[in-house]
Structure formats: structure tokens, C-alpha cells
Structure 1
Amino acid sequence: MLLGVIADDFTGASDVANTLAKGVAPQGGLRTAQFLGVPTTAAPVEIEAGVVALKSRTIPVQEALAQSLAALNWLLAQGCRQIVFKYCSTFDSTRAGNIGPVAEALAAELKVKGVVVCPAFPGAGRTVYMAHLFVHDRLLSESGMQNHPLTPMTDPDVRRWLGHQSRSPVGHVALDTVRKGTDDLAIALSEIGDTLVVVDAISDEDLQTIGRAVADHKLVTGGSGVAMGLPGNFIRRGLASGEAGRLIGADGPEAILAGSCSGATRRQIDLHKQDHPTMAIEVDQVMSGETTAEDVVKFVARHHGNAPLAYSSSAPENVEAMQAKYGREEIAAKLDALFADAARKLVRAGVRRLVVAGGETSGAVVSALDLGALTIGQEIDPGVPVLLSSGETPIALALKSGNFGAADFFAKALERLQAR
């Protein structure tokens, strides 16, 4: 294995795995596998990039550190020459969040400084300019992320937000230095004494420049976009084949589970419900035990072949009201448990194509299914690939971050998950 990734949630892991498998034309990408949690056995020898998917974004800091360092040690044991710490392109964390502590711990373990911090993903509208994170034409704090139920992002200044989480000062490399080219950027990073350095990027070309500049860096951090230029470094050196993501899928019944409350997911739900059966999962009924995983399974079974969708998504004002009534952590735990149990029962009942929306929901689902390593296939929408489990009865999955995907994502994803 040449390159190893530590991802702080499951949808983010799929996102960066997609980036590495796709690569940049005409060079292509790396043979990539996604692992659900830290594996206990060695990776297949043909794998060039391995992505370890953790559910560490919102857990206590010490637990996130322990899991991330365990993932690092496994990846290094597989021979990885470079490590990427992948977090969301909207920098999902609180002021006391895990991104800073994990990045610093990885840097200390690898004994490196000048570590790039770049959550930019222009293909999904995320750009970094003067260390401020934008979502399309809005500052992060005005994009809707300020209403996130678990990680409300109220400050778009990545350098300042990261400073709250870090023990040492955070550096910055501005866009004009990036635009001077690979050599100038590499020199700028080598001359910075700070452990973590926010680097501006507003285009895919900027990300490719960053990728070339960090070819010899042991550690890089960011959204999936920062990995865009990394496969080419190994391919140019003759260390990798340049094989792209393959057309893969599975045959069988389908289901869609959505636990994200993002604006993008709510729009996708609104469009999908116009022509497909949907089931709204109400928080009050979940908390009282009136709605259970068995209800979701029965709903899906009644609508096989019609792309049934079960969702708990709601508008920000409704989310706030429910959190005030029951507590944020209590609701999250109940919903995660319901979706996990539903997914387990659905697969046992024969579902073979499964679309999941929301990072926390995806983490709960794949942890419950215990699918092992996942093969990375073709891209559905930017940042979301087809995933296929191994074994006699493979499961085809799409794990979508809440903010990702076009309005017609759900129906399109189920179509792409079919065997080809």
C-alpha cells in the first residue's frame, strides 16, 4: 500500500476513496479499498490506497485520538508512504472539536511540521480564500452549516476555528503563493515552523498544485479535494498503475435511508417523494418507541421496486424544538440505533442496494452491517462513489454526506448501484 487515509466519518471516507480511485485524467487513480474501522488483518497486496473509515468526528477527543493513532499504526504497517487525515469540506467540528487534536497527534507521531490544512472541494462549491471557508458564494457561517444539529459552524475562519482546537499557532499560505506554482508552494511550506498550515484553494488546479507540492510530505490533511493531486505523484514515479474506479454493483431489492437535516438532503427528499413512496420518521414517535426499525422494514417491503425512502430529516426550527425537548445526544443516539437496526433487518430480508444520506447515519448503518473492506466503483455525483462489499451476497452502497449530491441523487444512486 502506498497511500493511507484516516477519515473521521464514513461518508467522508467514501468521498476521498472516490477521489483517489478516480484520480486526474489522463493519469488515472489508485486501486483503492475502504475499510470500516481499523482492520485486524493485512490489506490485500494489490491495494495501492487504503481508506480507514472511523466514526470519530463527534466522539470525545481522547477516543478520537486513540482510534486515529490505531489507524495510523495499521496503515504504516501496510507500507504507506503518505498519510491523509480526511475531514469534511465544511470543516464539521465545534470549538472544542477533534480536527485540531487529531491532526497534531498524527503530526507528532510522524515527527512533521508544515502540515497542510485544506478543506476545499471546488467541485462541491467549497473554497478557501484568506483562510476563510466558503460554500458557493456564501461564507460557511451563512451557508446553513450554522444550523448543523451536531457541529454548528458559526465562524468561517478556518485558521481561527482550528486555533481554538490546537495547542500551537496555526499558519497560513495565501492563494497568491499557491498560484506561483508547485516549487514556490513547496518552499513556503518548508519555511513555516507551525505544525498546521491552512492553505488557500479555490479551484481544482489549486488543489493539484498543492498535491504536487506535498509529494514528499508524510502527512496531509483536508477534505477529499486535497487528495486530488496525490495519485499522480505515485503514478509519475512508476509506483502505481493508474487504474480507475470500475463499474460494479449488485442485483436485488433497494432501500434509501436519510438521517441528514441538511438543506441539500431535504431538497432531495422533496423531489424524490413526488414520484416515490416515502416514510417520515418523527422524533416524538421514535423517542416514545411508537416507531421502530420493524416499521421501516415493513414499509420498504411494501414498496420494493419503487425506490422507497425512509427519512428523519427536518427543518432547522423543528430540529431545535426537538433538541430542546429531548436533548441533542439523546435524539442522535435513538435515531442512529433505529437506522442501524433497520439496515441490519433490511439486509437480512434481502435488500442488496442501499443508499444512506448523512454522515452519522451512514456510520451507524455500516457499523451495524459489518461489511469489511469495500471496493470503490464509479462516481455517482461528486464525492459519492458506488461501494461494493465482498462475499457470496455482495451489498452495493452509496454513502452520501448530507450536503452532497444533485437534487435527483436518490433515484440516480439506486440505478448506478445495479450490477453491470
Structure 2
Amino acid sequence: MSARPLPDGPLVAFYGDDFTGSSAAMEVLAFAGLETVLFLSAPSPERLKAFAGARAIGIAGVARSQPPAWMDRELPPAFRLLASLDAPVAHYKVCSTFDSAPHVGSIGRAVEIGRGIFSGDWTPMVVADPGMGRYQSFGHLFAMAHGAGYRLDRHPTMARHPVTPMDEADLGRHLGRQTALPVGLVDFVAMKRGEGDAALDRARAAGAAIVSLDVLDAETLAEAGRLIWERGGHPVFAVGSQGVGAALVAYWRRAGLLPAEPPASRCAPVERIAVVSGSVSPATAGQIAHALDRGFAGIRLDARRVTDEAAFAQEIGRVVAEARTALGAGRDPLVYSATGPDDPAVAGLRDAVAMAGLDPVLASERLGAGLGRALREIVLNAGLTRAVIAGGDTSGHAAMQLGIDALTALAPLDPGSPLCRAHGADTPLDGLELALKGGQVGRPDFLSAVKQGGRTPV
């Protein structure tokens, strides 16, 4: 059977449940040769017209850190806007480690809302992405860390996540805590035997509303893309990580609908960059240590002061002043709130928030926004052209303080975190080169690679 051709206009419209994950979804499509724009909030018709040639259009959100009541209020208008773009694929983008819970970042609730707006008999789910070191076997998710693979519930970071610790690797079971929608599976054995369609038919006949698709390698990735594109309906509403886009691209290439992977681009080095980090992941801690060893100026932010707005404003002013001093001495400022999950600052913040009776979600938002304000002042004061925001939850709240409204991908750095160009209709930061780095994303030299504009291909 011949492949369904790619129509003109937008092919994929997606909503990301955090900013770093949204940039990962943009990366997969943009570096496949599909012009992609990621808006940082719902775009106006005028802003959509400014990117009229885009083949993929995304909206970055913060749903991963929000309760279901917030989703009930905020997701319907975002989904209706995506539906108005008339793209054949609508994608609710989640983290590739599926971090979520019934009370915060509920993927199940998001799917329920989406299914009420988009047509389609079933919702494909692709969470694994081998390019990111994520693999799914018989419905169980595995993720790489420090060069080794772990079942998700035994992963050294995700099993200890401070907000959504993952104690279940079976994604169907985990999702079952968040929704009553039945979850089915097309496993990799059926895919490799050429029985993917039959397995999908069985899952749907059994009443599955969501069907999880195993992905282990290039073959199963492309097969997952085929099932989405050829069997998903018109339009299809899919849920998953950037693996959804990666699967579609793999199938479109295999079917001859897209050319082979274009050569990777690279940006020129810059003299100075600024970094802010609200991440507590071990990967980010390693990147901070690597950068400090190479001359970055570490500036620790006392996150406990978020419990008092006036005190926190003073703390932001202090780190901005220290960053200005560092730049004057020819060094790159690196503002961070913690160095990994075992940093005493993590427990210190948690205890301070509890003692103050502050909602932890509000504390996280306040921390991210403060880091964003600090970065804006640092960049504008020094006339910097490149910056980094680290932390999945941090990035959204921080980026919203920059006055920008869209990103486009410039060059790859590490899978899931490209170097982007910031856009804004009326902001001095229009054109800023920005990397949004998820906590678990990137090799140890990531920050140096941002400064250099990428890595030299081996």
C-alpha cells in the first residue's frame, strides 16, 4: 500500500507540557527539514501570519507542573487553537520520562480533554525515543543515565524526582492512575513480525482508547510512525514525547515523503554567555561542575528566600550584581539554585516552603520567574547574544520573563535541547540565541558546547 502523501500547510500542531520538552519536539521536526515555530503562549493571528510557512507549529506550556483544575481551564482553548490550524497530526507533548501524577501534570486528564476536542477513535501514545536514550519494551519504559539503562522505576533520577517520583515503569498502569480511559499496547514483537496492524486492531476491538506503541530501535520507531500516520485518523490526536515527531519523521523518510537527514548546522562561538539553572538533576549538576572547572563564574541563588517576595527580589538583585562583576572580569556567569538532588539547598527550600505555608507549585513558579528576571537583566546589561535556561519546570516560568513569544531552532547541541533563536514583536531580546535544557538532558560539556555554538562532528 502506498504511503499517504504529505499535504500542504501545517503537518503537526503540538502543545508541550513544559518548555524544554517543547523545544525537543521542535528540534525533531525542524532538523528534519520541516520549518517549525514554537510559540511561548497562544499566538495571535498576526503572529501566526509572521510564520506562515511553518510546517509544524507548537505552543509551549507549563501543564507538567499544574493540577487538573488548571488543565480544565487552560488546555481547552489551547487545543481548540491547535485544531483550527487543520494539521493532520495534533500532539500533546509530554516528557520522555513520563513524569506525571494524578494531582500534578496529569497526562491522563490532558488526554481526556484533548479527546473531547479532536476527533478520532483512538489516541496513539509514543513515549520512547532512542535518540534520547528512551526505550519501551512490552509497555515498560527504560531510560539511560550515566551510560547505563534503567527501568523507569529504578532510574537514579526519575525514581527520586522531587515532585513526580516514578514508581511504575509500565506506562499503561501509570496512566491508569490518572484516567479511566482503557489503555492498549502494540508491542515490539508484533511490529517486528509485521503484525502491527493486527495488534492495533485487537487493542481497539478490546476497547482501548489510548494505544501505547513500543519503540526500541529504528525499525520500531518507523513502524510507530506508520501506525500514527496511516491508521491514526484524520486528524489524529497523539500523546507522547518528541518520540511522536521522531516516529513520523522516520516513517516519512522510509516512505520517501521526506529526504534523508540533512547535514547538521552549527553556530559561531560567542565570547560570553549567561546561564541560569533551577534544575536539581544529577546531569545538570555534572554540567555545572564541568563549567565551573572551565572558568564559568558560579553564583549560588538562595532559593529559600522565595518565601518572602521582597527578600527574594533583593536576592535576585544580588545575583545580577555578581553576574555583572563576573562579566566585567571576562567570565561567564552561571546562576544556580542547587547542584543535584543531594545538595542541602534542596531540602532547605522544601523546609522553608513548608514552614512558610507556601504552595510548592507557587514557590516553583516564583523561583523560575526570578531566574528569568535575573537572566533578562544580565543579558540586557551586558548586551549578550546567547544564554541558557536549565530545568524543565524552571524554563517555562523563566522564559516568560524575557519578553519573547516564539522560538525557532538554529543548531543541534544534545538531543532534546537545541540552540534556538528567540523572537518577539517588540522586545530588545528579539534574536537572542537561547538553549532551554531539561534537567536530564545533555552531556557534561553542554554549557561549553552552547558557548562554542555546537560540537565538531567526530
Output aligned runs, 1:96-135, within 5 Å. Answer: 96-97=103-104, 98-135=106-143
Q: 1:180 aligns with which of 172, 193, 203?
A: 193
What residue number does 1:303 align with? 326
What residue number does 2:241 align with? 223
- In the TM superposition, residue 364 of structure 1 has moved relative to its aligned partner by 1.1
Partner Cα distance (1:394, 1:285) in 2: 32
Partner Cα distance (1:11, 1:161) in 2: 23
- In the TM superposition, residue 180 of structure 1 has moved relative to its aligned partner by 2.7
Residues 1:202 and 2:216 are matched in the alignment:
yes
Output aligned runs, 1:247-396, within 5 Å. Answer: 247=266, 253-276=272-295, 277-285=297-305, 287=307, 289=311, 292-304=315-327, 305-317=330-342, 318=344, 319-327=346-354, 328-329=360-361, 331-349=363-381, 350-390=383-423, 393-396=430-433
Distance 1:211 1:30, change over 3 A: same
- In the TM superposition, residue 285 of structure 1 has moved relative to its aligned partner by 4.8
- In the TM superposition, residue 30 of structure 1 has moved relative to its aligned partner by 1.0
**TM-score when normalising by structure 2:** 0.82
Q: Which runs of 5+ in 1 are unaligned?
A: 24-28
Checking the alignment, whether the CA contact within 8 Å between 1:250 and 1:353 is kept in structure 2 is: no
- In the TM superposition, residue 226 of structure 1 has moved relative to its aligned partner by 2.3
- The one-letter amino acid of 1:142's match is R
- In the TM superposition, residue 284 of structure 1 has moved relative to its aligned partner by 3.4
Q: 1:210-264 deviations in whole A, cap 9, x for unaligned? A: 0122114211211112211324666789987889676567967520111110111
Residues 1:416 and 2:453 are matched in the alignment:
yes
Checking the alignment, whether the CA contact within 8 Å between 1:32 and 1:48 is kept in structure 2 is: yes
Distance 1:162 1:16, change over 3 A: same
Moved more, 242-251 or 96-105: 242-251
- In the TM superposition, residue 183 of structure 1 has moved relative to its aligned partner by 4.7
Checking the alignment, whether the CA contact within 8 Å between 1:33 and 1:374 is kept in structure 2 is: yes
Q: 1:277-299 deviations in whole A, cap 9, x for unaligned? A: 11122333554627522222222
Residues 1:142 and 2:154 are matched in the alignment:
yes
Checking the alignment, whether the CA contact within 8 Å between 1:112 and 1:195 is kept in structure 2 is: no
Checking the alignment, whether the CA contact within 8 Å between 1:248 and 1:388 is kept in structure 2 is: no
> Which secondary structure does the structure 1 equivalent of 2:52 belong to?
coil
- In the TM superposition, residue 176 of structure 1 has moved relative to its aligned partner by 0.8
> Which secondary structure does the structure 2 equivalent of 1:202 belong to?
coil
Partner Cα distance (1:250, 1:47) in 2: 28
Q: 2:226 aligns with which of 192, 212, 215?
A: 212
Checking the alignment, whether the CA contact within 8 Å between 1:396 and 1:417 is kept in structure 2 is: no
Q: 1:72-131 deviations in whole A, cap 9, x for unaligned? A: 222222231211111001101113342111112212322323312221122222211222
What residue number does 1:32 align with? 36
Checking the alignment, whether the CA contact within 8 Å between 2:183 and 2:210 is kept in structure 1 is: yes
Aligned residues: 413
Moved more, 175-184 or 155-164: 175-184
What residue number does 1:76 align with? 83
Moved more, 111-120 or 81-90: 111-120
Checking the alignment, whether the CA contact within 8 Å between 2:19 and 2:62 is kept in structure 1 is: yes
Partner Cα distance (2:91, 2:260) in 1: 19
Checking the alignment, whether the CA contact within 8 Å between 1:114 and 1:192 is kept in structure 2 is: no
Distance 1:155 1:234, change over 3 A: closer
Moved more, 180-189 or 72-81: 180-189
Partner Cα distance (1:191, 1:395) in 2: 51
> Which secondary structure does the structure 2 equivalent of 1:45 belong to?
coil
- The one-letter amino acid of 2:243's match is G
Distance 1:417 1:380, change over 3 A: closer
Partner Cα distance (2:400, 2:325) in 1: 26
What residue number does 2:357 align with? none
Partner Cα distance (2:363, 2:218) in 1: 38
Question: RMSD across aligned C-alpha pairs, in angstroms?
Answer: 2.7
Moved more, 318-327 or 229-238: 229-238
- The one-letter amino acid of 1:312's match is S
Partner Cα distance (2:394, 2:22) in 1: 14
Distance 1:11 1:178, change over 3 A: same
> Which secondary structure does the structure 1 equivalent of 2:441 belong to?
coil
Q: 1:8 aligns with which of 14, 17, 21?
A: 17
Partner Cα distance (1:204, 1:396) in 2: 31
Partner Cα distance (1:209, 1:40) in 2: 36
